[in-house]
Structure 1
C-alpha cells in the first residue's frame, strides 16, 4: 500500500502522457483533479493482491474526444459518478481503477477514492490509452452473461448540457449509449462502470499499470534538468521503446465526429520519407509512405515535441512542428484481456478504414 502525494500526481501525469498515445486527456486537467484528490484526502494505491478476491472494484474514467473544446467536467462529477454506481450496485465497492493511462487518465479514480474512502488499485484495463470503452473493459466487451452498470456525469451547465445517466445491460450496448451521452454533453464526460470482483481484475487487467506510469514519470522529471534530448532518451531506455521517425509535421487532417477525433497526421520521418499516423483519439497505427504497416495498437505509439522533449497529444500537434515518434512494442508492456479480444477491433477498423486486428493480435 502506498499513500499518494502531490509528487505522485506530477509523476503520474508525466509518465501517463507517454502511455496516452496521443490521447488520454490533458496535463492541466490531470494536475487539477490529482491535486484535488490529495487535497481532500489521502488516496492509497494498493496492489490487487492486497485485496480479497470478492472485493468489488469499479472502473473510473472520462469518455470523449481529447481535442474537443465544448466540454465541462468538474471534480465533483467524477465523485458523483461513483456515488451513483455505488447506490445502484447491490454490494460494497472497495476500490477503483482506471481503464488506461494518460495525461489525466492515470489519475482517474484518485479523487473519488479520496472523497469516498476507497482505494486505488494498481491495475489498468489497458496500459495505453485507447478510443473505445470496450478496449479497456478487460475482456467484458463481448460477454452477454454479464450485466454491467455504467454511469456518466457532467456537461456544460451554461448550455443546459449537463447530464446524469445510469444504465444497465451488456457492456457492448451500454458503452455505445455512454458515447452518445458524452457527445450530447459537449464531448467529454466523467464515468464509473463495470463493478467486478478483484479476482477478475487479477486475471484480466494489466497489472501494475499505474506504478509503471509513476516510475516512468519520476525518471522523466529527473531527466528534465538535462534538457529535451535527455528526456526523450530516458523514455526510450526506460520503456525499451524506439524512435521510428523524427521530423516536421507536414499535414494534420483530424476532425471531431461522434465524440471521437478521427483522421491522419503526416510527418517527415527525418530521412526524406513520410509516415502516416492513423488517429482515433489516440494513435492506432503508423504506415510508411509505401503503405507498409510499421506499428499497430496495442503497441504504444507516442509523439514528442522535440523542442521540450515532452509527449504531445493529437490536439497539440501542429503543422510545421518537429516531433519524434516513439513506439513501445506490445511485448514490452503488461497487456489485459481487452487487447486480445478480437471483438473490440472492428468498430475502430471501420472508423479508420484500415485493418488493425490482423496486426494487433499477431503474436498474442
Structure 2
C-alpha cells in the first residue's frame, strides 16, 4: 500500500538523494524547501507503480540545468506545480502519478509538492537510480523513439525578467535540448514535467523502487550521525553495497560551464586518479589511464565528514573519498541501457562511456 510521506522523510530523502546525486542532482536546501512545503500543505503519497492501473498516466517531474554552476538561477515550488498543470492541459487528461528522472539532492523530491497540491501520486520509480547530465538518460527508453512527447518547463529569475513557461511537443531527442536551452536562458535551472507514459510502460522500463532506495540510505545516514565521518562513510558504503575507490587530495580542478548548461571537465587526485565530469561524475580513470568506474555506476565524492559533495563544492587541496556503487547491484532502467543516449555525452566529454556502460556486467 501507499505510504504518506511526512516531515522526517524529507531529511532522509535529501541525505540519501545527495549520495545518489553523483556530484549533481540539485541543491540540498532546494530539496528541503520542496519537501517541507509538500508535507506542510498536503499529504504526498509514495506508491509503487503496481498500485496504478495499466492505462493511468505517469509523467516525469524534473529539474534541468547545471547546479554546480554559479549562474543566477531561481526556481520556486510553484514552478514544479505549474509545469505539471501545463502538461495536463496539453495532454487533455489527468496525470495519476509523477516519477523522477533521477535521484539527487533535490530531484528525489521533485514530485512531492505537486502530489500534495494536485493529488498526483509520488511513484516509486526513477529514470535512473543516480543523477546524470541529459534528460535522455532518464527518459526510460524514449530517447530514440520517434513517438511525439509533451515536455513543459517553468521557472527563471524573475528580477532579471528570465521567467519562462514552455510547452513543447515532438520526439524526445528533439525537444529535450530545447528545455536545456530554456534552463540556460532562465538562469541555469528550470522545473519541468515531461514524457507522459502509461503505467504499464513505466513498470517495464523504469528503475523501480528508486525513491525507497534513497529514503533507506538517508535513514541509515541519519542513524549513523554522531559517530563521526568514518562511521558514516562506512554506513553509506554498506547500505549502498558500494566501495571506496580511492581517497586523496584534489590537485587539479578543470571544469568549465558551457552554453548548453553543462559543467564539463576533470578532477585530478594526488594519487593520479581522474574523475570525468559532465554535471555529474561520469567516469573514473586510474593513474595509469585504466577505466575503473563508469556511468551508470554510482560515483560520488564524500568529504572527511561524509558530506556528499557536488562538483561545484570541490576545490584544489580538498581531501575527498570517492564512492563507487557498481551498476550490477542497482536496478537499471531502459534509459541507461539505451545506446542512443551515449554518443552526445561522449562527444561533449571526449571519452568513451557506452562500451563500459553496455558491457553487460
TM-score (structure 2 length as normaliser): 0.98
| Aligned twin of 1:79 | 81
Q: C-alpha displacement at 1:290, in angstroms?
A: 1.6
Within 5 Å, give how 1:226-265 maps onto structure 2. 226-257=227-258, 258-265=260-267
Please state if 1:350 is matched with 2:347: yes
Identify unmatched segments of 5+ residues in structure 1: none
Paired residue secondary structure (1:230): helix
| Aligned twin of 1:111 | 113
- Candidates 295, 301, 315, aligned match of 1:303: 301
Deviations 1:14-72 (A, max 9, x none): 00111100000011110111111111100000010011111101100100001123111
Please state if 1:328 is matched with 2:328: no
Identify unmatched segments of 5+ residues in structure 2: none
Paired residue secondary structure (2:225): helix
Query: How many correspondences in the alignment?
Result: 358
TM-score (structure 1 length as normaliser): 0.97
| Aligned twin of 1:362 | 359
CA distance in 2 between partners of 1:33 and 1:318 (Å) = 28
Please state if 1:221 is matched with 2:222: yes
Q: C-alpha displacement at 1:147, in angstroms?
A: 1.2
CA distance in 2 between partners of 1:254 and 1:34 (Å) = 31
Q: C-alpha displacement at 1:91, in angstroms?
A: 2.3
| Aligned twin of 1:267 | 269
Between 309-318 and 187-196, report the one with greater CA deviation: 309-318
Q: C-alpha displacement at 1:240, in angstroms?
A: 1.2
Paired residue secondary structure (1:323): strand
Q: C-alpha displacement at 1:267, in angstroms?
A: 1.1
| Aligned twin of 2:129 | 127
Q: C-alpha displacement at 1:101, in angstroms?
A: 0.2
Paired residue secondary structure (1:335): coil
CA distance in 2 between partners of 1:282 and 1:67 (Å) = 9
| Aligned twin of 1:143 | 145
Paired residue secondary structure (1:21): coil
CA RMSD, aligned part only?
A: 0.8
User: Which 4+ stretches in 1 moved above 4 angstroms?
Assistant: none
Paired residue secondary structure (1:92): coil
| Aligned twin of 1:185 | 186
Q: Would the aligned equivalents of 1:231 and 1:310 in 2 still touch at CA under 8 Å?
A: no
Q: Would the aligned equivalents of 1:20 and 1:129 in 2 still touch at CA under 8 Å?
A: yes
| Aligned twin of 1:338 | 335
| Aligned twin of 1:64 | 65
Q: C-alpha displacement at 1:95, in angstroms?
A: 0.7
